[in-house]
Amino acid sequence: MPLLLARNEAPAPPAEIMDLGKFRMERSPRVLVAEDNPINQKVASRLLERMGHRVDGASNGVEAVQAIRSFPYEIVLMDVQLPDLDSLQATRLIRQI
């Protein structure tokens, strides 16, 4: 019998399920989620809120740029394909701001 099969070791413990509550921060950064699908925007927003972030949403590239002009968000999450203003163009404008 090979040595590997002859060992009598306990199985590895199951991977720990990640608890989002563990990742709360002392100061909650403000996050902008730019996502045109309302369900995806809601899911992302709720996950970030559970982590302690304050979240605003934008449903297209124009709204994302306008939001950045009105508030200095610390984190911006952009969907790759946004209507009205391509997300890459919106990101370029946001970086200039």
Judge whether 5 lies within some domain. Answer: no
Report if pTM > 0.85: no
In which residue are the tokens 């996502």 written? Answer: 35
| The two structure tokens encoding residue 74 | 């610390």
CATH of the domain at 73: 3.40.50.2300
How high is the pLDDT of residue 33? 98
| The two structure tokens encoding residue 70 | 């009105």
Residues of the chain scoring pLDDT < 70: 1-27
Query: How far is it, in rounded angstroms, from Cα 14 to Cα 43?
Result: 26
Instruction: Please say whether the beta carbons of 84 and 61 come within 8 A.
Output: yes
Domain count, the chain: 1
Instruction: Please say whether the beta carbons of 90 and 61 come within 8 A.
Output: yes
How high is the pLDDT of residue 12? 54
Expressed as residue numbers, the domain containing 52 is 28-96
